[in-house]
């Protein structure tokens, strides 16, 4: 199992990937959005290079757990990605992940300019790590 985490925004898509054991998520890159076809092509290229079998997409729920316009747009993006890739799409609650990413970068003393460049991929890694941590683990043999 190798998963790719996505933090889908209107201008960028933060991308993270799980290690081969499915234990940890690492920030990978940020895809600058241009149009749906190009966005999907870039993500599929990354997924193929990393031998990904599923996408974990952050779902921006409202604080009360309901879905608003951003969640609906994210689901449309996920549907398009599923059709283009035939890979599994999993939605993961992403409430406050950008805040958590910002705090992590501040604690690491990352400059303001650099934070802007990497925050989306760090948010994607937090989304993916949350999903990985929730997966049942088999005891070692």
Domain membership of residue 139 (yes or no) is: no
Residue 108 lies in a domain: yes
pLDDT on residue 139: 65
Residue 49 belongs to domain spanning: 3-134
Strand order in the sheet with 25-32: 25-32, 12-18, 3-8, 54-59, 88-93
Residue 99's CATH number: 3.30.420.140
Q: For the chain, what is the domain count?
A: 1
CB 26 within 8 Å of CB 19 = yes
Query: Is the pLDDT at 59 greater than 80, yes or no?
Result: yes
Q: Give the model confidence (pLDDT) of 105-135 as tens digits.
A: 667 766 777 667 677 888 899 999 999 988 8
* Residue range 40-44: mean pLDDT, rounded: 97
Residue 140 falls inside a structural domain: no
């Amino acid at each position: 199992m190798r998963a790719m985490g996505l933090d889908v925004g209107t201008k960028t898509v933060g991308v993270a990937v799980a290690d081969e054991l499915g234990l940890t998520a690492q920030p990978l890159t940020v895809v600058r959005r241009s149009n749906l076809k190009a966005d999907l092509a870039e993500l599929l290229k990354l997924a193929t290079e990393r031998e990904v079998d599923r996408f974990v997409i952050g779902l921006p729920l409202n604080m009360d757990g309901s879905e608003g316009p951003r969640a609906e747009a994210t689901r449309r993006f996920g549907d398009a990605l599923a059709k283009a890739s035939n890979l599994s799409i999993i939605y993961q609650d992403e409430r406050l992940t950008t805040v958590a990413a910002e705090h992590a970068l501040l604690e690491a003393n990352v400059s303001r300019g650099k934070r802007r460049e990497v925050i989306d991929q760090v948010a994607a890694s937090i989304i993916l790590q949350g999903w990985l941590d929730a997966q049942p683990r088999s005891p070692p043999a």
